[in-house]
Amino acid sequence: MKKNMGNTDRIVRLILAAVFGYLFFSGTVVGVLGYVLVALGAIFILTSFISFCPLYTLVGMSTCPVKQS
In angstroms, the CA 6 to CA 30 distance is 32
> Is residue 67 situated within a structural domain?
no
Q: Write the CB contacts of 41 (distance below 8 Å, at least 6 apart in sequence).
A: 16, 17, 18, 20, 21, 24
Q: How many domains does the chain have?
A: 1
pLDDT tens per residue across span 15-58? 999 999 999 999 999 999 999 999 999 999 999 999 999 999 99
Q: How far apart are CA 15 and CA 17, in angstroms?
A: 5
2: confidence class by pLDDT, cuts 50, 70, 90: confident
Measured CA to CA, the distance from residue 15 to residue 59 in angstroms comes to 24
- On whether residue 65 sits in a domain, the answer given is no
User: Would you say residue 29 lies in a domain?
Assistant: yes
Domain span at residue 24 reads 7-59
Within a domain: 66: no
| 64 inside domain | no
The percentage of residues in the chain with a pLDDT greater than 70, rounded to a whole number, is 96
Whether residue 18 contacts residue 42, with contact meaning beta carbons closer than 8 Å, is answered with no
For residue 69, the model assigns a pLDDT of 58
